[in-house]
A and B are shown apart, each in its own frame.
Chain A
């Protein structure tokens, strides 16, 4: 069942020297329990599409709809808080929070009691393979793979149905990439989440349920 759709999505923005047409009429839909890869060359518009899917901005043309409601018409902050988790290549963990606090952060935002938030976060950290003795460590004390696991645990703790990942394995070695990707697949297949992964790693993309190829701001093909 498609929970997120992009209808004729266009996105342009102005730089100092020119108008950039980042997306030129993208149509696609994303379903629960499925991992979708968006692939394309640098500058093709895949990260822009992911940002629009995450509600970080609204399209300049067309619409993004979550369960039928346009993101342009909703309180996108509240929507993201309850429904969307974004995972980035460079993890974007808070440097001065411990692994446990990082994972619990969305729950703090939801104003859950501290104890309850941290119990849930601890469970999610354990689920992605972070050992309890690492819960109190700051991100700089963790490896790249461990940091990405904490970022995924943060996404899981938020309870979001929609998980968007932008080059989640871009900074990881092969083994860690495999492990992280396995976790993302597990999220979709075992926990019923809708997972969208932006990547330029074709080997990784081929392991997903569906691949959208984007080129010059348009969907060039689907596999």
Chain B
């Protein structure tokens, strides 16, 4: 038979060239693969976006909590004792194990306690944990003396912030509490407040009332944040596991011990649920898309190759083996699937969907399903009865 070429010979190259001579069928199959990969990249991109949205929501959302009475009311007119604030700050943990690590559950604790002063006349002493504890300071400017800053409010030194226009005798301000406290003391002025109330003197929340002597006092309002929204339920469980903080209920009876805490997480939870629902839907769509791609590619391949039955039979007549026909059809589909997949990836890049490793893996799976469908088609094509197909009469 003369010299024979090694390897696969010219036939594989010829069958690829023939793909270009059948542009309709080739385009149909390549388009199916391209659409599958594009849709896969799109779905994966949406999944990544949803995942990021969830992470951003969890990272950027602050869950505010407001301390109320047990019925969920009187948030700005609490008759709450200052040790509850210390509980929230974790300062009481050594006495009550249920308060251990409370400061890991909550953050940004704000509390405010107003005391009426007999001197300076018609002024109020406001004990604060931070500037954010009093909404009247939202638009105010505080200018601290050198060496002092807002952290002074969290300390225990006998200092104060006074209104910009208030006159003092040097660096100290003498104050006298109104009855029944009736105590006088001298506070170091460490800053002045402009744009805030003119009749309020601010001092640290934990400032001892007399030298070294602290005492429990009543506070008007208290708020705080959940420290970590990713562990929201864990933080809430920690908070409500103590006997001091309860979920407010209109039917609750005040017992003088517990206070209510309103956790403003409704919007957050709803947003998160929607995002997670979207994510679940997208994740559900991915295997469906894979199955759909397999089905579509199977039928596309089947319809295209069905018309070639006689061609395959003629190949068998010429002595081509079944597995060679199977390999040829699979090779053609592989070439079209890869070409279509590449077009799909380029389209995904061009339209800004982006191609990430996850998207590539999904695209690979889509092309794999395409080839699986094609393999079945090739198997069907190669297994036809040549005698039946070649019969022209009888």
Contact = CB atoms under 8 A, between A and B. Distances in A.
Nearest to B22: A96
A109 B318 contact: yes
Given A47-B394, A101-B14, A92 B319 contact: no
A178 interface: no
A158 B318 contact: yes
Contacts of A191: none
A222 to B, nearest CB: 21
Interface string B5-44: 1111111001000100110000000000000000000000
Given A56-B387, A92-B390, A113-B3, A108 B10 contact: yes
Interface in A162-177: 166-167, 170
Interface in A105-122: 105-106, 108-114, 116-117
A109 B319 contact: yes
B2 to A, nearest CB: 6
A80 B318 contact: yes
Interface of B: 1-11, 14, 18, 21-22, 310-311, 313-314, 316-322, 386-387, 390-394
Contacts of B18: 94, 96-97
Interface string A75-87: 0011111101110
Contacts of A105: 318
Contacts of A167: 392-393
A141 B76 CA distance: 94
Contacts of A61: none
Given A92-B314, A113-B5, A106 B319 contact: yes
Given A108-B11, A110-B1, A116-B2, A92 B317 contact: yes
A45 B196 CA distance: 111
Contact of B390 (A56, A108, A113): A56
A96 B2 CA distance: 27
A218 to B, nearest CB: 15
A113 B4 CA distance: 6
B317 A112 contact: no
| 9 tightest A-B CB contacts, nearest first | A81-B319, A111-B9, A80-B319, A92-B314, A114-B10, A96-B21, A111-B5, A51-B387, A96-B18
Contacts of B317: 54, 56, 80, 86, 92
A94 B17 CA distance: 13
A126 to B, nearest CB: 19
Interface residues of A, number: 48
A30 B302 CA distance: 40
A51 B385 CA distance: 11
B24 to A, nearest CB: 11
A94 B394 contact: no
A62 B311 CA distance: 30
Given A51-B387, A89-B392, A97-B18, A111 B319 contact: no
A70 interface: no
14 contacts: A22-B394, A43-B394, A56-B387, A92-B310, A92-B390, A96-B18, A105-B318, A108-B9, A108-B11, A109-B319, A109-B320, A111-B4, A111-B6, A167-B392
B318 A42 contact: no
B11 A109 contact: yes
A77 B320 contact: yes
A112 B9 contact: yes
Contacts of A89: 392
Contacts of B4: 110-112
B325 to A, nearest CB: 10
Given A57-B387, A112-B2, A88 B316 contact: no
A82 B392 contact: no
A90 interface: yes
Contacts of B316: 56, 77
A44 B311 CA distance: 26
Query: Which of A43, A105, A158, A170 has most B Cβ within 10 Å?
Result: A105
A43 B316 CA distance: 24
A22 B388 CA distance: 13
B319 A56 contact: no
Contacts of A113: 3, 5, 10
Nearest to A43: B394
A204 interface: no
Given A48-B387, A106-B319, A110-B1, A117 B10 contact: yes
B321 A77 contact: yes
Contact of A77 (B10, B319, B394): B319
Contacts of A93: 314
Contacts of A116: 2-3
A159 interface: yes
B194 to A, nearest CB: 88
Nearest to A44: B394
Given A43-B393, A44-B394, A154-B318, 7 more contacts: A47-B391, A56-B387, A88-B392, A92-B313, A97-B14, A101-B14, A108-B11
Interface string A128-165: 00000000000000000000000000100011000000
Contacts of B10: 108, 111, 113-114, 117
B311 A95 contact: yes
A110 B11 CA distance: 10
B380 to A, nearest CB: 18
